[in-house]
């Protein structure tokens, strides 16, 4: 009889728990994707203050600035994201 699950035969990496900043980043990305910019911006700003150096945070802030017509600010954030 074959079993459906044999952990020693898995070829995929095991999942690891997320830390708080990763979870916050995912929440901000979801808020941005579901058209809740104020909630997204609050979380992105908190992450940006924490000196995490996460390009996705700068990218999210750039997208928000672009959507609000703050083009200079958008450019600054997007340049930081790719630096």
pLDDT at 1: 46
Q: Judge contact between 44 and 30, C-beta under 8 A.
A: no
The one-digit pLDDT tens for each residue of the chain (83 residues) are 455 555 565 666 667 787 888 999 999 999 999 999 999 999 999 999 986 678 999 999 999 999 999 999 999 999 999 98
pLDDT at 77: 95
Q: Judge contact between 56 and 29, C-beta under 8 A.
A: yes
Name 31's Cβ contacts closer than 8 Å, sequence gap at least 6: 37, 39, 40, 43
**Torsional sign, CA 52, 74, 45, 38:** negative
């Amino acid at each position: 009889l074959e079993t459906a699950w044999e952990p020693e035969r898995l070829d995929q990496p095991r999942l690891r728990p997320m830390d708080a900043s990763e979870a916050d980043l995912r929440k901000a990305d979801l808020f941005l994707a579901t058209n809740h910019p104020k909630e997204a911006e609050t979380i992105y700003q908190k992450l940006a203050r924490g000196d995490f150096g996460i390009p996705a945070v700068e990218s999210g802030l750039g997208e928000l600035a672009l959507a609000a017509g703050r083009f200079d600010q958008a450019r600054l954030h997007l340049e930081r994201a790719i630096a």
